[in-house]
Amino acid sequence: MSSPTPPSAPAPDAADVADVVERLRALFLDELHLELPSADTDLLATGLLDSLAFVELMLQLESRFGVVVRLDEIDLEQFRTVRSIARTVAASGRADAPRAGSPPLSGTRLDDGATDHRAAGGEEAA
Amino acid sequence: MTSLLQQYASAQAQARPDATAVVMNAERVSYGELEASSNRLARFLKQVGCRRGDRVGLFLPKTPAAIAAMLGVLKADCIYVPIDVTSPAARIERVLRVAEPRLLLAAGTAAALIDDLVARAADGRLPPVASVETGPIPGRRFESPYSSADWAHESAEPLPWANSAGDPAHLLFTSGSTGTPKGVVITHSNVSHFVEWARGYFGLGASDRISGHPPLYFDLSTFDVYGTLSAGAQLHMVPPAANLLPHELAAFIRRSELTQWFSVPSVLTYLAKFDAVAFDDYPALKRVLWCGDVLPTATLIHWMERLPHATFTNLYGPTETTIASSYYTVPRRPTGPGDVVPIGVPCAGEELLVLDADLRPVRPGDAGHLYIAGVGLSPGYWGDEERTAAAFLPDPRAPESQGRIYRTGDLARVGDDGLVYYLGRVDSQVKSRGYRIELGEVETAVNALPGLRECAVVGLSTGGFEGTAICCAYALRADAERAPAQLRQELARSLPTYMLPSRWMSIDELPKNANGKVDRNRLRELFGEGPA
């Protein structure tokens, strides 16, 4: 489980990736209040991507890119850097509609309407 | 009953030396190995001058080697201080100033942190560093005079001890409202009383495979470790890589065939929210336990629907009264998310008292301040008589006795059913992802940042996984320009990540009430109304 994109996805276009990298860095700055030194900063080793940030990132990928990540199909390496996230997003085709079959955050059984989306899930000291 | 915690492991090593004690990734450590390596370390510690009652700082991530180190320190009649190696040096410096360790046991991954600590120390000196690696740790500003090669050839035989059950086993640091973390002293008997009760109540045995989820500087991990060792069970440490992705964590529970899961509630909500618990999942799992915060009832219902074969127990208790002081095993699935799950009844040897402002019992059913008495009570905060006296009071029922009660700062009431219900806090302590955080500590750190005219930090209950969201409103000086990302980055130099505000609001002036104090209720409204 180390391939940077899902095996079924087509290789993303380099220009697409560069574009998504810029939009992702803006997303990290505006929504997660994280200013990343570079697109290759290791988000996992530095601890920048913890559970709180991860949940927000999933929501933002859905609302800004129309991408719903299939959590049961991805592996951690795809979230190691902004560039690797961008490759995953670009490879998904940036479809306007979420991919079918994905469990979107907003549609899980636990949503009882009273729950704020930001308040999704988490763990002690990721 | 075992009087010293290390004897749990020793007894198992004698009876079943080849049985597996600790598992992490591909590494398996047997009881015999744990016993031998901790005996060697204890001899080494004594040789380099650690004396009874000395503190030893553990700069170790959660690994089997850390468990051996904990036992080794105890066998040398010393007190271990687990350090959060992901915290910034500025905060650890405050911890070391209180704990005054004789020696630091460190893993190679702590090299950069120790460099930072040396750079910050006024005289450039730290206690000597002993590397748990086979060679010295390559620090830029320090040398580790010792490494595990220095104790590898020590005798693995047990060594005599002088400690007794009332002696401290470890110090656990929690957030302090003024910015100085508090070192809670935990004795051998504090831990063994809970462990003995829990082993009987939950029926822990050698066939148990127990989760090790919380970090070792966190109170809850004490039960994972000593509960496992007392039962001769297996401790399965959750690797950090399995932590971020809910499906990885679920796969870990499945693959490890865990029989007991114990964590803060936010983890259970995280797994449920991302739909990582299938129907009849984790077939080996017998018990799900949580502590440290309120578990949303919706999450509990979800888990109980998915895992009809498991029992679900809410544990309650602050670090100061050791792991947990009360328990409630949920007898049946709650009917709706509005049902309130009680914190239950006291564990053996403990008492929960609901008292009024004059320390008199409230009328049955009334709300009051929750105090705890009994065998779990810590002797107090290390080197801090003032804060100890403020939180640990003479027992008002028997002022002549040596009895004490601990003021939890929680509000509670006893229901008609005789169960205790948690109602909230009396101060500005919050729980975020199970971490206990004094908002005063966060505010003190934000106030120290340059460019701010004023700031206030409030907690906002989001009803979701992190428990309370930490929100910071700030007013910049006229000449200052600062984005939240910059403030966050600067703040990360003095606070651990889990204390950093997740929501920021730039404001011209903080709302004040009639007597000029910050109107925190109004601020919470502003954050609640703003975009998420």
pLDDT at B531 over 80: no
- Same domain, yes or no, for B54 and B171? yes
Q: State how far residue B301 is from chain A, nearest Cα, in angstroms.
A: 9
Q: State how far residue B10 is from chain A, nearest Cα, in angstroms.
A: 30
What six digits make up the tokens of A24? 């992702």
- Give the chain B residue whose CA is nearest to the CA of A121: B270
Give B 38-97 residues with CB within 8 A of chain A: 86
What six digits make up the tokens of B114? 């120790």
The pLDDT of A36-59, averaged and rounded, is 88
Kind of pairing between the strands at B234-237 and B182-187: unpaired
Report the pLDDT value the prediction gives residue B117, as an integer from 0 to 100: 96
Would you report the helix, strand and coil content of chain B in percent, each value rounded to 5? 30, 25, 45
Taking the Cβ of residue B447 and every Cβ of chain A, the question of whether any pair is shorter than 8 Å is answered with no
Q: What is the pLDDT of residues B92-148, one digit of tens each?
A: 999 999 999 999 999 999 999 999 999 999 887 899 999 999 999 989 999 999 999
If one counts the domains in chain A, the total is: 1
User: What residues of chain B lie within 8 A of the CB of A123, using their CB?
Assistant: 213, 243-244, 249, 263-264, 266-267, 270, 433
User: What residues of chain A lie within 8 A of the CB of B433, using their CB?
Assistant: 51-52, 122-124
Write out the H or E segment, with its range, that includes residue B145: none
Residue B194 lies in a domain: yes
Using 50, 70 and 90 to split pLDDT, how confident is the model at B413?
Answer: very high
Residue A106 lies in a domain: no
Residue B259 lies in a domain: no
Closest CA to B170 of B101, B111, B228: B101
- Same domain, yes or no, for B171 and B109? yes
Which residues make Cβ contacts (< 8 Å) with residue B33, sequence separation at least 6? B21
The pLDDT of B220-248, averaged and rounded, is 95
B490-494: list long-range contacts, CB under 8 Å, 24+ apart.
B490/B449, B491/B445, B491/B446, B491/B449, B492/B88, B493/B88, B493/B90, B494/B88, B494/B90, B494/B91, B494/B445, B494/B448
The pLDDT of A26-40, averaged and rounded, is 91
User: What residues of chain A lie within 8 A of the CB of B484, using their CB?
Assistant: 33
CB contact under 8 A, B274 and A109: no
Kind of pairing between the strands at B311-316 and B287-290: parallel
Q: What are phi and psi of B373, to 5 degrees?
A: -125, 160
Give B 237-266 residues with CB within 8 A of chain A: 240-241, 243-249, 263-264, 266
User: What residues of chain B lie within 8 A of the CB of A105, using their CB?
Assistant: 273-274
**Three-state DSSP state, B83:** coil
Please, are residues B202 and B285 in contact by the beta-carbon 8 Å criterion? no
Residue A117 lies in a domain: no
- Same domain, yes or no, for B128 and B185? yes
* Dihedral angle, C-alpha B4, B5, B6, B7, nearest 10 °: 60
Question: Looking at residue B386, which CATH number applies to its domain?
Answer: 2.30.38.10
Report the pLDDT value the prediction gives residue B7, as an integer from 0 to 100: 98
The shortest CB-CB distance from A118 to any of B264, B462, B488 is to B462
pLDDT at B43 over 70: yes
Report the pLDDT value the prediction gives residue B124, as an integer from 0 to 100: 79
Report the pLDDT value the prediction gives residue B529, as an integer from 0 to 100: 63
Q: How many whole angstroms separate alpha carbon B367 and alpha carbon B424? A: 10
Report the pLDDT value the prediction gives residue A50, as an integer from 0 to 100: 87
Question: Looking at residue A68, which CATH number applies to its domain?
Answer: 1.10.1200.10
CB contact under 8 A, A51 and B266: yes
Domain span including residue A19: 14-97
Q: State how far residue A71 is from chain B, nearest Cα, in angstroms.
A: 7
What six digits make up the tokens of B316? 């309650």
Least confident of B146-155, B189-198, B393-402: B393-402
Residue B267 lies in a domain: no
Please, are residues B338 and B297 in contact by the beta-carbon 8 Å criterion? yes
Report the pLDDT value the prediction gives residue A104, as an integer from 0 to 100: 44
Domain span including residue B83: 6-237
- Placement of tokens 């009360």 in the chain: B326
Residue B303 lies in a domain: no
The pLDDT of B374-396, averaged and rounded, is 97
CB contact under 8 A, B245 and A75: yes
- Same domain, yes or no, for B464 and B413? no
Question: Looking at residue B192, which CATH number applies to its domain?
Answer: 3.40.50.12780
User: What residues of chain B lie within 8 A of the CB of A55, using their CB?
Assistant: 465
What six digits make up the tokens of B393? 């009071």
Give the type of residue at B61.
Answer: P
Least confident of A27-31, B81-85, B147-151: A27-31
CB contact under 8 A, B214 and A29: no
Give the strands of the sheet with B311-316, arranged side by side: B27-30, B20-24, B234-237, B209-212, B260-263, B287-290, B311-316, B326-329, B345-346
Using 50, 70 and 90 to split pLDDT, how confident is the model at A97?
Answer: very low
- Same domain, yes or no, for B381 and B489? no
pLDDT at B2 over 70: no
pLDDT at B336 over 80: yes
Question: Looking at residue B510, which CATH number applies to its domain?
Answer: 3.30.300.30
Taking the Cβ of residue B463 and every Cβ of chain A, the question of whether any pair is shorter than 8 Å is answered with yes
Please, are residues B425 and B440 in contact by the beta-carbon 8 Å criterion? no
What six digits make up the tokens of B174? 């929690």
The shortest CB-CB distance from B466 to any of A29, A52, A74 is to A52
Residue A5 lies in a domain: no
- Same domain, yes or no, for B182 and B34? yes
Mean pLDDT of the residues in chain A: 72
Residue B485 lies in a domain: yes
CB contact under 8 A, B464 and A119: yes
Tell me the count of A-B CB pairs closer than 8 A: 141
Report the pLDDT value the prediction gives residue B251, as an integer from 0 to 100: 95
- Give the chain A residue whose CA is nearest to the CA of B265: A123
Residue A19 lies in a domain: yes
- Same domain, yes or no, for B520 and B399? no
Mean pLDDT of the residues in chain B: 95
Report the pLDDT value the prediction gives residue B411, as an integer from 0 to 100: 97
Taking the Cβ of residue B212 and every Cβ of chain A, the question of whether any pair is shorter than 8 Å is answered with no
- Placement of tokens 């009334």 in the chain: B366
Least confident of A33-47, B84-98, B310-324: A33-47
Residue A110 lies in a domain: no
User: What residues of chain A lie within 8 A of the CB of B465, using their CB?
Assistant: 51, 55, 119-122
User: What residues of chain A lie within 8 A of the CB of B434, using their CB?
Assistant: 124
- Same domain, yes or no, for B112 and B198? yes
pLDDT at A7 over 60: no
Residue B338 lies in a domain: no
CB contact under 8 A, B244 and A51: yes
CB contact under 8 A, B465 and A119: yes
Report the pLDDT value the prediction gives residue A113, as an integer from 0 to 100: 35
Closest CA to B258 of B269, B266, B267, B249: B249
A4-13: list long-range contacts, CB under 8 Å, 24+ apart.
A4/A77, A4/A78, A4/A84, A4/A87, A4/A88, A5/A78, A5/A87, A5/A88, A5/A91, A6/A70, A6/A73, A6/A74, A6/A88, A6/A91, A9/A91, A9/A92, A10/A91, A10/A93, A11/A91, A12/A87, A12/A90, A12/A91, A13/A90
Would you report the helix, strand and coil content of chain A in percent, each value rounded to 5? 40, 0, 60
Residue A126 lies in a domain: no
The pLDDT of B27-38, averaged and rounded, is 98
CB contact under 8 A, B463 and A79: no
CB contact under 8 A, A33 and B488: yes
Report the pLDDT value the prediction gives residue B181, as an integer from 0 to 100: 93
Is this complex scored with an ipTM above 0.85?
no
Give me the DSSP letters along B229-280.
Answer: HHHT-EEEEPPGGGTSSHHHHHHHHHHTT-SEEEE-HHHHHHHHHTT---TT
User: What residues of chain A lie within 8 A of the CB of B469, using their CB?
Assistant: 118-119
CB contact under 8 A, B270 and A51: yes
Q: How many whole angstroms separate alpha carbon B202 and alpha carbon B286? A: 10
Report the pLDDT value the prediction gives residue B205, as an integer from 0 to 100: 98
Q: State how far residue B306 is from chain A, nearest Cα, in angstroms.
A: 12
CB contact under 8 A, B271 and A121: yes
Write the CA distances from B388 to B83, B185, B308, B391, B404, integer angstroms. 22, 10, 44, 5, 11
CB contact under 8 A, A119 and B469: yes
Residue A102 lies in a domain: no
Taking the Cβ of residue B532 and every Cβ of chain A, the question of whether any pair is shorter than 8 Å is answered with yes
- Same domain, yes or no, for B372 and B503? no
Q: Name the burial class of residue A6, with classes exposed (0-12), middle (13-18) and buried (19+) by CB atoms within 10 angstroms of its CB.
A: middle
Give the type of residue at A36.
Answer: L
User: What residues of chain A lie within 8 A of the CB of B221, using their CB?
Assistant: none
Report the pLDDT value the prediction gives residue B463, as an integer from 0 to 100: 67
Which residues make Cβ contacts (< 8 Å) with residue B509, sequence separation at least 6? B454, B475
- Same domain, yes or no, for B383 and B518? no
B99-123 b/e (C-beta count within 10 Å ≥ 16 → b):
bebbbbbbbbebbebbbbbbeebee
User: What residues of chain B lie within 8 A of the CB of A44, using their CB?
Assistant: 244
Q: What is the pLDDT of residues B299-325, one digit of tens each?
A: 999 999 999 999 999 999 999 999 999
What six digits make up the tokens of A34? 């994280």
- Same domain, yes or no, for B131 and B218? yes
Least confident of A51-55, A91-95, B322-326: A91-95
pLDDT at B334 over 80: yes
Closest CA to B170 of B181, B183, B158: B183
The shortest CB-CB distance from A71 to any of B264, B274, B463 is to B274
Segments of B375-510 assigned E as strands:
380-381, 392-394, 404-414, 420-425, 429-432, 435-438, 452-461, 468-476, 503-506
Please, are residues B310 and B285 in contact by the beta-carbon 8 Å criterion? yes
CA B380 distance to own-chain centroid: 16
DSSP single-letter state for residue B18: T
The shortest CB-CB distance from A124 to any of B218, B271, B486 is to B218
Write out the H or E segment, with its range, that includes residue B203: none
- Give the chain A residue whose CA is nearest to the CA of B483: A33
If one counts the domains in chain B, the total is: 3
Least confident of B311-325, B418-432, B437-451, B460-474: B460-474
Give the type of residue at B331.
Answer: P
Q: State how far residue B354 is from chain A, nearest Cα, in angstroms.
A: 30
- Give the chain B residue whose CA is nearest to the CA of A106: B273
Residue A45 lies in a domain: yes
Q: Helices (H) and strands (E) in chain B — how many of each?
A: 14, 27
Segments of B148-252 assigned E as strands:
168-174, 182-187, 209-212, 234-237
Q: What is the pLDDT of residues B256-279, one digit of tens each?
A: 999 999 999 999 999 998 999 999
- Same domain, yes or no, for B147 and B182? yes
